[in-house]
Structure 1
Amino acid sequence: MAANSEFKPAIIVVDFQEDFCPPNGSLAVPQGRAIAPTINSLLSLPFTIKIATRDNHPPNHVSFAENHPGAVAFQSRHTIIHPTDPSRSDTTLLWPTHCVQGTPGAELVPELDVSKVNVVVDKGMNPDVEMYSAFWDPFRVSVSSLGEALKKAQVTDVFVVGLAADFCVKATAESAVEEGYRTYIVEEGTRAVMKEAWEAEGKREVEKKGIKFVSADGHEIQRVKDLAEA
C-alpha cells in the first residue's frame, strides 16, 4: 500500500443491479433505486479508481432456494462444504433466484452512470460457494480481480456503496479492512435488505471491525473533492 501521507481513494459500487431493485427485482432491496443520485454524484469525484461489481450467478448456484428441494427463500439455510476440504464449512441463507448470467436481472441498473466506471468486476460465478464479498468467497476458493485492481492503482482508502448494506456491501467493506485499507461505507449510497436489524445491530458490528460510516456531505468525501485542486 502507498505511504500514509498519500490519499488514493477508490469507490466500489457493489451489485447495483436490476434484480436487487424495485419494482421488478427478484431480490429487491427496499428503496434500492433511491441511491442512484448519490452514487452518480460520487462517481463524478476524482477517485483514483471507480469500480462496479456484479453478482453473475450460474442457474445452479448454491445460494438459490429453488436448487434445494423443500427450501424456502429468506428462511432456509444451507451448509456449504469446502469443495476440497470437507473439514471446513459455511452456513448461508438461501435466496430467490437472482442475477443469473445473461438475464436482464443481472444487468447494472440504467440509472447508474457506467461511463464514469473504470472497471466492472463480476463475482459469484462459482456455483458451489456463496460470495457476498466482492473480493472472495469465505473459503477463498473464488477470488475476483478486485484486489488486484486496487493494488495496481495503489489505493489507500476504500469507499463502499451499493446493495445491499447488510450483505454484500458489508462483506466487501470487511474484506477491504482485512486487506489493510482504510474503509468507509457512505450511508446515503446504500440500503439494507433487513433495515431494522441493520440499524439496531448490524452497523455496530461493522464498526467494531474498523469500518467507518460516513456521509456524502462529510469531511471524508470532501477530501476526495479536494483532490481536484491538488
Structure 2
Amino acid sequence: MQISDRDVLLVIDVQNDFCTAGALAVPGGEKVVPAINRIAANFTNVVLTQDWHPSDHISFAPNHAGKQPFQTIELDYGTQVLWPTHCVQGTAGAEFHAELEIIRANLVVRKGFRRGIDSYSALFENDHRTPTGLLGYLRERELKTVFVAGLALDFCVRFSAEDARKAGFEVAVIEDACRGIDLDGSVGATHQSFRERGISTVSLEALL
C-alpha cells in the first residue's frame, strides 16, 4: 500500500498510564511503540493525541461515592464507563511513552480536559458534538486517508476511526500497532463496527 502526502497517521494516546504498570494499563500497551515508530517514518503527516484530564474529571471512579472502576453511570450525553484515575494533567502518567518518537508529530491534540465530559475520539468529545479541532485541521490540510494506531483499540482508537469515517475520510486501522482492553467483548464489537462502517484494517507490513 502506497502512502501519500495526503495521508495522515493518527497516533492515539500512547501514554505511560496506558502502558504496563500504568494506572489504566492496556495489556501489552507499550508493544505498539516500535511499530508506530517504524511506520511514522513513512508519513509526512503525523498527529498525536494525549488524554489530559483534570484530577476531578467526571469519568474517574474515585470521584463518585460508592462506585468502582469499570462500573457505568448515566450522564446527559449517555452511558459513561468509570475509569481509574489516569492521565492527569502534568503527571508522569500523562506523558507520552519515553520511546515514542514524538519529534515526528506535526500536531498534538489534547482531549478530555473538560471536567464534565469524557473524550475518547480524537475528533469529538463523547457528546459527539463538541469538536477537538482536529477535524478542521484535517480538512484545512486537504488530507484524504486517516491511518489510526495506538491505545486502546476498542475505545479511543475505535471512536476516532468511526468519527473520521463519518466525516468523510477513508480510514484504515493498523491493527498490529494497536492493543485493546476488551471490556465485556468490546474488541469483537469494534471489529464488527469497522466492517459495518467500511473502515479497513491493515497490517504494518502492508504499509512498509
For the superposition of Structure 1 and Structure 2, which TM-score range results when normalised by the shorter chain? Answer: over 0.9
1:80 alignment partner AA? L
Contact 1:12/1:160 (<8 A) preserved = yes
1:80 is matched with 75
Displacement of 1:195 in angstroms is 7.6
Pair member with larger Rg: 1
Alignment identity in percent?
A: 37
Q: 2:153 aligns with which of 143, 165, 171?
A: 165
**SS in structure 2 opposite 1:63?**
coil
What pairs with 1:51-130 in structure 2 (closer than 5 Å)?
51-74=47-70, 76-81=71-76, 89-130=77-118
Alpha-carbon displacement from aligned partner over 1:123-154 (angstroms, at most 9, x marks no partner): 00111111110111132453212112211221
Change beyond 3 A, Cα 1:106–1:199: closer
Displacement of 1:206 in angstroms is 2.2
Q: 1:134 aligns with which of 122, 129, 136?
A: 122
Distance 2:75 2:183 in 1: 26
Distance 2:174 2:160 in 1: 13
Distance 1:201 1:16 in 2: 22
**SS in structure 2 opposite 1:177?**
helix
Contact 1:174/1:209 (<8 A) preserved = yes
CA RMSD of superposed structures (Å): 1.7
Change beyond 3 A, Cα 1:140–1:208: closer
**SS in structure 1 opposite 2:137?**
helix
Deviates more, 1:197-206 or 1:172-181: 197-206
Q: TM-score, normalised by structure 2?
A: 0.93
2:38 alignment partner AA? S
Displacement of 1:199 in angstroms is 4.8
**SS in structure 1 opposite 2:171?**
strand
Deviates more, 1:122-131 or 1:189-198: 189-198
2:13 is matched with 15
Contact 1:185/1:213 (<8 A) preserved = yes
**SS in structure 2 opposite 1:208?**
helix
2:34 is matched with 37
1:168 alignment partner AA? C
1:204 is matched with 192
**SS in structure 1 opposite 2:150?**
strand
Distance 1:27 1:144 in 2: 23
**SS in structure 2 opposite 1:217?**
helix
**SS in structure 1 opposite 2:163?**
helix
Change beyond 3 A, Cα 1:191–1:127: same
Unpaired runs of 5+ residues, structure 2, are none
1:112 alignment partner AA? L
